[in-house]
Structure 1
Amino acid sequence: MNSFLSMKDMSNTEIHRLIKRANEIQKKGYKPFEKQYFAANLFFEPSTRTKMSFVVAERKLGMEVLDFTAEFSSILKGESLYDTARMFESIGANLIVLRHQQENIAKELSESIHIPVINAGDGTGEHPTQCLLDLVTIYQEFGHFNGLNVVIAGDIKHSRVARSNAYALSQLGCNVYVSGNPEWRDDRLDYEMITMDEAVEVADVLMLLRIQHERHNQHEDIQVDSYLQNYGLTKQREKRMKQHAIVLHPAPVNRGVEIDTELVECKRSRIFKQMENGVAARMAVIESTLRGGAVHENNLNKRSAITG
């Protein structure tokens, strides 16, 4: 594995290998890197779970973390993302973890520098490491993917989580549905759209998403008070779910909006389990990126092509 950018790039074999490794890390432990590695975490959007999960994963693997805050960086002086990334590469960073508001920016950056890039969320594009931890959580629950009914419910149009999960889950054999406000449907995700009342009855996995207020038109009138009743998981709807069905949410959770606050930690909720799995999933990605022979070979070839 070289850069980790999109679930579209992943084969089923690669996905299962990462899921297996994440589970091994949790059950059998892990071996920190013997060599000194530096990770540059470049986060240009607010983040709690993803950023802290990467920091914990990196430190567990024995890495030095080069922290970065856009508000206190040379970005404010006009420095480009490319020059920032090249600076970190020049001082010894071995990989870059990038979260940015621009779609496809992680892929573009990976083609311009010599070290691997891990996509930690690119605008409304993808969020592949969130997808991986979701897959780990689902696999722990069911032991397979084939034939599972997964409903992704919420602000589909503006969600990078929805895209990564829809791509990977359908590839792995799940029956993927979407649910939510019809105005927030994404034509790029050609999956059957169902109501939340239908979703709770069909779903083995109900994946809820928050309203991405920061990506909506500021003048758009979003009635959050009625959202729960129209599109969210109420206590009444939860009672109609299959006995074995589980509820996921990438968080942050807007309690009382996409989910009744009493259901956030109900028996079928795996929301905090997802967060726990996020560390192991990201450790597996980092290990594959830095320990994989293809990484070093690809980077060597890239350097030769640029400098030769």
Structure 2
Amino acid sequence: MLLKNRNLFGIKDLSVEDIMAIFEKAKEFKALSRSKIKKNSLLRGKTVVNLFFENSTRTRSSFEIAGKRLGADVINMSVSTSSIKKGESLIDTAKTLDAMKADLYVIRHSQAGAPKMFSKYVSGQVINAGDGVHEHPTQALLDGFTIYETGKKFKDLNVAIIGDILHSRVARSDIYLLKKLGANVTLVGPATLIPDEFKSFGVEIENNLDNILGKMDVINLLRIQLERQGDSLFPSLDEYHNFFGLNDERLKKMKEDAIIMHPGPMNRGVEISFDVADCKQQVILDQVENGVAIRMALLALIIEGSE
């Protein structure tokens, strides 16, 4: 099955059938990544450009590994040394790159909607690797795939997303994906970090973490994004950890088969204690591994679908 959309701007673009097709394709590519020979030639002769206007370790490196394992030529553009720093507009950058005939662009940008605007000026496909506080669809897909691999059923699955909801594009994409697949989502955090707009997302909102821990099948912790915050939205990091951090005492209140997730990078001692970050219920490194498999699946399905 090939994706019906030639670009991926957000989870809203995908049907349930699309999502499950991506998961099934990712299973194949995860097996490839675990084999002795980790490459194939599926995208041989194709060019993928990673264009990151914001810093990234996991997303950028996993897209690079994904493209290379599929045999594509992968170009990582450093925005700090590009013409963009000399005042070139995003539109002119798109037109310049389009003249070089790349097949697919992976874009992370601080402005919501930037990947969609970029796509209007290139003939190749575009994948959104995070735009402002809009969406981060590939993170949501790898989160969903990580849950899928545990054998848990999405229908009526209880998932808590905890932390900096206000600044999180991951939270938005995760909500869209989980709700599409039939899960129940509860947002947890201080009221200052959960804006009223989320009441329309069909989620529950809770300001006391201890009230919901025993009911949840999945705990997804979000990083406190201090770089995106202006005025302080809570008194201190220590106080945040006291009220919303996952520690040993709170771990004991959880279901024994509940899993703990985190999109990274983790702030140990803030949203998660040092010990809990390495406990047997966490699947954080599984998420990292699955990020490569999901991005391989997307590159393959989108490029193949464009043909």
When the two structures are superposed, what TM-score results if normalisation uses the length of structure 2? 0.92
Task: Please say if residues 94 and 121 of structure 2, whose CA atoms lie closer than 8 Å, have aligned partners that are also in contact.
Answer: no
Aligned with 1:231 (options 244, 264, 272): 244
Aligned match of 2:179: 170
Task: Please say if residues 201 and 240 of structure 1, whose CA atoms lie closer than 8 Å, have aligned partners that are also in contact.
Answer: yes
- Residue 52 (structure 2) pairs with residue 43 (structure 1): yes
User: How far 1:34 sits from its partner (Å)?
Assistant: 5.4
- Mapping of 1:241-280 within 5 angstroms? 241-280=254-293
- What do residues 170-189 of structure 1 show as CA deviations (whole Å, max 9, x unaligned)? 11000011001111113332
- What do residues 242-281 of structure 1 show as CA deviations (whole Å, max 9, x unaligned)? 0110000000000000000111121000001100000000
Aligned match of 1:133: 142
User: How far 1:143 sits from its partner (Å)?
Assistant: 4.3
User: How far 1:86 sits from its partner (Å)?
Assistant: 2.1
Separation (CA, whole Å) in 1 of partners of 2:74 and 2:235: 39
Aligned match of 2:8: 4
Task: Please say if residues 101 and 123 of structure 1, whose CA atoms lie closer than 8 Å, have aligned partners that are also in contact.
Answer: yes
Separation (CA, whole Å) in 1 of partners of 2:235 and 2:115: 31
User: How far 1:232 sits from its partner (Å)?
Assistant: 1.4
User: How far 1:27 sits from its partner (Å)?
Assistant: 2.8
Separation (CA, whole Å) in 2 of partners of 1:66 and 1:117: 14
Aligned match of 2:19: 15
CA RMSD, Structure 1 to Structure 2 (Å): 1.5
229-238 or 155-164: which moved more? 229-238
Task: Please say if residues 199 and 206 of structure 1, whose CA atoms lie closer than 8 Å, have aligned partners that are also in contact.
Answer: no
User: How far 1:89 sits from its partner (Å)?
Assistant: 1.9
104-113 or 169-178: which moved more? 104-113
Counterparts in 2 of 1:281 and 1:171: CA distance versus 1, 3 Å: same
Task: Please say if residues 11 and 176 of structure 2, whose CA atoms lie closer than 8 Å, have aligned partners that are also in contact.
Answer: yes
Aligned with 2:106 (options 97, 100, 111): 97
- Residue 131 (structure 2) pairs with residue 122 (structure 1): yes
Aligned with 1:63 (options 50, 62, 72): 72
Aligned match of 1:306: none
- What do residues 62-98 of structure 1 show as CA deviations (whole Å, max 9, x unaligned)? 1111111111010111101122122222112111100
Separation (CA, whole Å) in 1 of partners of 2:41 and 2:251: 42
- Residue 170 (structure 2) pairs with residue 161 (structure 1): yes
The aligned amino acid for 2:205 is: M
- Classify the secondary structure of the residue corresponding to 2:150: helix
What are structure 1's unaligned runs of at least 5 residues? 297-308
The aligned amino acid for 1:207 is: N
What are structure 2's unaligned runs of at least 5 residues? 34-38
- Classify the secondary structure of the residue corresponding to 2:249: helix
Counterparts in 2 of 1:67 and 1:34: CA distance versus 1, 3 Å: closer
- Classify the secondary structure of the residue corresponding to 2:212: helix
When the two structures are superposed, what TM-score results if normalisation uses the length of structure 1? 0.92
Task: Please say if residues 96 and 115 of structure 1, whose CA atoms lie closer than 8 Å, have aligned partners that are also in contact.
Answer: yes
- What do residues 46-68 of structure 1 show as CA deviations (whole Å, max 9, x unaligned)? 10000000010011011111111
The aligned amino acid for 2:11 is: M
The aligned amino acid for 1:192 is: E
- What do residues 2-36 of structure 1 show as CA deviations (whole Å, max 9, x unaligned)? 11110011100000000111012223677422540
- What do residues 212-255 of structure 1 show as CA deviations (whole Å, max 9, x unaligned)? 11211156665111111111111100111001100000000000
- Residue 201 (structure 2) pairs with residue 192 (structure 1): no
- Classify the secondary structure of the residue corresponding to 1:264: helix
Aligned match of 1:301: none
Counterparts in 2 of 1:64 and 1:134: CA distance versus 1, 3 Å: same
Separation (CA, whole Å) in 1 of partners of 2:189 and 2:233: 16
The aligned amino acid for 1:8 is: K
Counterparts in 2 of 1:135 and 1:219: CA distance versus 1, 3 Å: closer
Task: Please say if residues 129 and 136 of structure 2, whose CA atoms lie closer than 8 Å, have aligned partners that are also in contact.
Answer: yes
Counterparts in 2 of 1:111 and 1:188: CA distance versus 1, 3 Å: farther
Task: Please say if residues 43 and 72 of structure 2, whose CA atoms lie closer than 8 Å, have aligned partners that are also in contact.
Answer: no
